Structure 1
Amino acid sequence: MPAKNDHAFTLIELIVVISLLGVMLFFAVPRIHESFFSSGTRKLSAWLQLQVKDLKNQAVENQTQFILFVDVDENRLWAGRHDMAEPALEAAKSKGLSLSGTNRFSEVVFAGDHRISAGTAHIRFYPRGYSDQAVIYVQTRGNKRISYEINPFLPDIKTGGSHG
């Protein structure tokens, strides 16, 4: 009588393993797609959210004015004190956030419909805990426009988006 081969997998075991792999890939592939092919706005949103909260807190703690600089031409963001010397400002600028090649700032709009579409916009954070009211607009690939609204008395930014 031939010996039974116990080293092989049964059909049910193979089906279960392949099914589990399929379920894992179903959830993992969208995350991989987002990380490699996202438009970079997720990083910008997180950076802005943290910076706005931090700048409001620092302005109150240090009792001095802080500024969020938005360079529309160079697509860069950085933060600093209002009284920083030029070398310190350059160091802060180099530590700031630079947008990816597919994203660019289109304009910054302040209260009273004051628009800055070229140069550097200064969004101020005051020692009493409030800030300038401003909306930062970012143009992404696919002609999508995303807005980041900084409210004077709220710690969080409000994000909006539109197509076209």
Structure 2
Amino acid sequence: MSISTKSNGFTLIELIVVIMLVSIMLFFSIPRFQGTVFTDNTNRVSRWVILKSRSLKEKAFIEQRQYALHIGVDTNSLWITHEKMTEAEVNKAVQNSYKLPEGIGIRDVEFPGQGKIEYGNTKICFYAKGYSDKALIHIDDKDNQYTFFIEPFLSQVRFKNEYVEFER
């Protein structure tokens, strides 16, 4: 009878090293993966409003053209137009509007001195001189209310995790 010196398995040290390497890889990849796949609808809407508002302010100044962010309060949709669009282009923009995800709604849009628009459509204008209308956009989901504050002379849009109103 001969004794075989070949081993048919892995040593405990080899298994520990492989498990540690896989754990380290998962530790760094899962949070990044989770952030892209399991994004919250509120974050998606927030990014859209903030980035589009900033972009429209810059575009209006660079192209020397007035842009408008239209807000359909009843339809929970947003779309963009500019002053030189034809009627057909405006209709296409309305048809291709950004629809808020299920469970998130536009509560109202508030302008200083004009009050709140709770029904219908309204617009926030971005002018060729580089400024915009001052406005608050209020959205809500099942549990929370949020406010986007668009300031006239700043490109940043402030986001609050609460319902904020203009002082009267």
Q: Same fold (TM over 0.5)?
A: yes
Tell me how large the CA RMSD over aligned residues is.
Answer: 2.4
Give, as a single letter, the amino acid of the residue that structure 1 aligns with 2:106.
F
Q: TM-score, normalised by structure 2?
A: 0.82
2:110 aligned partner = 109
- What residue in structure 2 maps to residue 69 of structure 1? 70
Which TM-score applies when normalising by structure 1?
0.84
Alpha-carbon shift at residue 92 of structure 1 (Å):
1.4
C-alpha separation in 2, matches of 1:113 and 1:66: 20
Distance, in Å, in 2 between the alignment partners of 1:152 and 1:24 is: 46
CA distance, structure 2, for counterparts of residue 5 and residue 135 of structure 1: 74
- The worse-fitting range, judged by mean Cα deviation, of 51-60 and 66-75 is 51-60
SS at 2:47 equivalent:
helix
Query: CA distance change for structure 1 residues 7 and 111 in 2, over 3 Å: closer, same or farther?
Result: farther
In structure 1, C-alpha distance between the alignment counterparts of 2:123 and 2:85, rounded to whole Å:
14
Unaligned runs of 5+ in 2: 164-168
* 1:94, distance to aligned residue in structure 2 (A): 3.0
- The within-5 A match list for 1:4-83 is 4-31=5-32, 33-35=34-36, 37-83=38-84
- Separation in structure 2 between the aligned mates of residue 102 and residue 39 of structure 1, nearest angstrom: 11
Q: Name the aligned partner's letter for residue 5 of structure 2.
A: K
Q: Is 69-78 or 14-23 further displaced after alignment?
A: 14-23
State how many pairs are aligned. Answer: 162
DSSP-derived class of the 1:19 partner: helix
- Structure 1 or 2, whichever has the larger Rg, is 2
Gaps of at least 5 residues in structure 1 are none
Change (3 A) 1:85 1:161: same
Separation in 2, partners of 1:113, 1:28 = 49
